[in-house]
Structure 1
């Protein structure tokens, strides 16, 4: 429903003069004048916004933002700078572009986060595979050691025992354990292709 133009507005005068008079009343806080302004400008503002935003629901939100801007900034309107319609169209276009940029920035952030999460997941899987392959290689190389070498290395490196504790556990003289471990570690290093 379109509200009638305010009383005292020139009936035969150009629409721009009528809206300028309405805007002056809006600047003084006249809610009826704002309702008239809303009815006069909402279709134009919505048309501009929907062409930029291309989403009806978001365009309706932007329309409301523009109309609130017009209410709040009514005192700043300068008739010499242009018509009320031009001023409203400028605000509408600016708000619509801001909404599109904001939506694009949010989308970019989501894509960046998704890529980051994908990279992390990939890195974790790659690390797990690499660890598993390395463990299999160590097990294969351990099988190439003598029984005493394998037991000594396993007790020292996987159970954290000292040479003396390994010797006591295996009931083997300490010098023999040290020699077997040294020889075993050399064979492991060669098997795994580690260069010193």
Structure 2
């Protein structure tokens, strides 16, 4: 029986099947996948880049990359949602790094133009190093507050660059267990970092 529009039941969309079909060239399948994942991808990008315009750009770039790479998607290794969000996260981090490099370069050039005969003082580099060390210490302390199982899962996912499925394989646990450990660990990390 086909669900009617006025039914209040939620229709489940098989995102993995849509992405596999998109990998075979089905533009309509990708259009549906795009519609389903756009809000989540945009929220992730916005949380990472913290600029609405950049977040829109990153989201579009990530979804275009997902379309181009759809044929390489393997539903045995990751879900379509985690695969697309991983691409989005990587794009967002790349954009933040690029923006920081451009800002540092512009500041360096401005300092050089302001006093062409003097060697530029790397004050920004010192401040940046101190800030990075402080942030690293905060994250290390927050990671220390996680259970050993949560820390192992979070580190495998974010420092190891593994998908949820790869984390599950690496830890020898079911996919749902790996996802729960990562989710709970990230929640505790967020609480620890916000409280610090």
Q: TM-score, structure 1 length as denominator?
A: 0.53
CA positional deviation for 1:52: 0.5
Q: What residue is the counterpart of 2:104 in the other structure? A: 108
Cα displacement string for residues 9-61 of structure 1 (whole angstroms, at most 9, x for unaligned residues): xx99965xx11111111011111111101001100100000001111111101
Q: What residue is the counterpart of 1:60 in the other structure? A: 56
Distance 2:34 2:43 in 1: 14
Q: What residue is the counterpart of 2:78 in the other structure? A: 82
Query: 2:22 is matched with which residue: 21, 26, 35?
Result: 26
> Mind listing any 5+ residue stretches in structure 1 that lack a counterpart?
1-10, 124-196
RMSD (CA atoms)? 2.1
Write out aligned runs for 1:66-145 (5 A): 66-120=62-116
> Mind listing any 5+ residue stretches in structure 2 that lack a counterpart?
1-8, 120-196
Distance 2:110 2:100 in 1: 15
After TM superposition, the runs of 4+ consecutive aligned structure 1 residues lying more than 6 A away are: 11-14
Distance 2:11 2:47 in 1: 31
Cα displacement string for residues 161-185 of structure 1 (whole angstroms, at most 9, x for unaligned residues): xxxxxxxxxxxxxxxxxxxxxxxxx
Give the greater-gyration-radius structure (CA): 1
CA positional deviation for 1:121: 7.0
Tell me the number of residue pairs that the alignment of Structure 1 and Structure 2 aligns. 111
